[in-house]
Amino acid sequence: MAEELVGRFGTEIAEIALIPGSGGVFKVECNGTLLFSKKEEGNRFPEYGEISARIAERRGEWERQAGGA
């Protein structure tokens, strides 16, 4: 997943961090926004391209927030 994100967004990504959890927890957050939760998505992992698509969907919103709009 990290390789796909770097391939799509390149230097726009400041950091990708994998943080171990317990109990089968798998969450993906970006800029403080929950993009994916295995628990909330029916106990499944994201498909290839799904996380980058969700980032792209929210990108404009984050840019507006950063610009103070």
For residue 59, CA distances in Å to 19, 24, 53, 65, 66 come to 23, 28, 10, 10, 11
Q: Tell me how many domains the chain contains.
A: 1
Residue 11 domain-assigned (yes or no) = yes
Please name the residue ranges forming H helices in 1-44: 2-9
Residue 65 domain-assigned (yes or no) = no
Residue 64 domain-assigned (yes or no) = no
Residue 21 domain-assigned (yes or no) = no
Residue 42 domain-assigned (yes or no) = yes
Residue 67 domain-assigned (yes or no) = no
Q: What is the pLDDT of residue 68?
A: 62
Residue 56 has pLDDT above 60, yes or no: yes
Gap between the Cα atoms of 6 and 37, Å rounded: 21
Residue 54 domain-assigned (yes or no) = yes
pLDDT band at 13 (very low <50, low <70, confident <90, very high): confident
Of 7, 9, 27, the closest CA to residue 17 belongs to 27
Q: Which residue has the tokens 């927890």?
A: 25
Tokens for 65, please give them. Answer: 């927030």
Residue 68 domain-assigned (yes or no) = no
Tokens for 15, please give them. Answer: 């950091």
Domain hosting residue 7, numbered range: 2-16+26-58
